[in-house]
Amino acid sequence: MKITDLLKKESIELNGASVSKKDIIDQMVSLMEKGGNLNDVEEYREAVYAREEEGTTGIGEGIAIPHGKTAAVSAPGLAAMVVPEGVDYDSLDGEPVHLLFLIAAPNTEDNVHLEVLSRLSMLLMDEEFRNRLRNAESVEEFLAYVDTAEKEKFQEDKGTKGRIQILAVTACPTGIAHTYMAAEGLESKAKELGVTIKVETNGSGGAKNVLTAEEIAACDCIIIAADKDVAMARFDGKPVLSAKVSDGINKAQQLIQRAMSGEVPVYHKKDGEEADVSGMDESIGRRIYKSLMNGVSHMLPFVIGGGILIALSFLFDGANAGTDVFGHGTPLADFFHTVGNVSFGMMFPILAGYIAMAVGDRPALMPGIVGGLLAKSGTSLFLAEEAWISSGFFGALIAGFAAGYLMLGLKKLFAKLPRALEGTKPVLLYPFFGIVLIGAFMIFLVNPPVGAFNDWLNGVLAGMGESSKVLLGAVLGGMMAVDFGGPFNKASYVFGTASIASGQFDIMAAVMIGGMVPPIAIALGTTFFKRRFTKSEKQTTVTNYIMGLSFITEGAIPFAAADPLRIIPPCIVGSGIAGALSMAFGCGSRAPHGGIFVIGIIDHPMQYLVALVVGAVVAMAGIVLLKKPLPEEKK
Each residue's pLDDT tens digit, 298-330: 887 888 788 788 878 877 877 776 677 777 888
Q: Among residues 67, 98, 113, 178, which one is catalytic?
A: 67
| CATH, residue 247 | 3.40.50.2300
- Summarised one tens digit per residue, pLDDT across range 3-20 is 877 888 899 999 888 778
Read off the amino acid at residue 74: S
* pLDDT at residue 271, rounded to an integer: 44
Task: Tell me, yes or no, whether 449 and 318 share the same domain.
Answer: yes
Picking from 232, 247, 282, the residue at the C-terminal end of a domain is: 282
Q: Does 460 reside within a domain?
A: no
Identify whether residues 434 and 364 lie together within a single domain.
yes
For residues 273 and 417, state if they share a domain.
Answer: no
Total structural domains in the chain?
4
- Residue 459 maps to a domain: no
220 and 257 belong to one structural domain: yes
Set 98, 113, 172, 178: catalytic member: 172
Please indicate, yes or no, if residue 83 is contained in any of the structural domains: yes
Long-range Cβ pairs for the range 138-147 (8 Å, 24+): 138/14, 139/9, 139/12, 139/14, 140/9, 142/12, 142/14, 142/80, 142/82, 143/4, 143/7, 143/9, 143/12, 146/3, 146/4, 146/7, 147/4
Q: For residue 304, tell me if it sits in a domain.
A: yes
145 and 88 fall within a common domain: yes
Contact status, residue 72 vs residue 44, Cβ threshold 8 Å = yes
Catalytic, 67? Answer: yes
Query: What pLDDT is attached to residue 224?
Result: 93
Instruction: Select from 453, 474, 506 the last residue of a domain.
Output: 453
Phi then psi dihedrals of residue 285, to 5 deg:
-60, -40
Domain final residue, candidates 215, 248, 282: 282
Residues 382 and 256 in one domain: no
421-428's contacts with Cβ under 8 Å and 24+ in sequence apart are 422/53, 426/363
- Please indicate, yes or no, whether residues 294 and 209 belong to a single structural domain of this protein: no
Same domain, 297 and 424: yes
Active site annotation includes 221: no
CATH number for 68: 3.40.930.10
pLDDT of residue 315: 78
Same domain for 447 and 326, yes or no, is yes
Instruction: Confirm whether 235 is domain-assigned.
Output: yes
Residues 223 and 347 in one domain: no
Within a domain: 633: no
Query: Is the domain of 396 the same as that of 536?
Result: no
Longest dimension (CA), the chain: 87
Q: Are strands 7-13 and 77-87 parallel, antiparallel or unpaired?
A: parallel
Residue 269 lies in a domain: yes
Mean pLDDT, the chain cut into blocks of 10 residues (635 residues total): 80 85 90 88 89 79 85 87 88 84 79 65 78 89 86 54 80 70 85 87 76 88 86 85 85 89 77 41 70 82 82 78 76 90 88 90 91 83 58 88 92 81 81 93 88 78 74 92 78 83 86 95 94 84 88 82 87 95 92 84 92 96 90 51
What is the extent of the structural domain holding 244? 166-282
Q: SS3 for 343-382, per residue?
A: HHCCHHHHHHHHHHHHHHCHHHHHHHHHHHHHHHHCECCC
The answer on 493 and 444 residing in a single domain is no
Establish if 461 belongs to a structural domain: no
- How confident is the model at residue 448, as a pLDDT? 85
Q: Distance between CA atoms of 582 and 611, rounded to whole angstroms?
A: 6
pLDDT of residue 513: 96
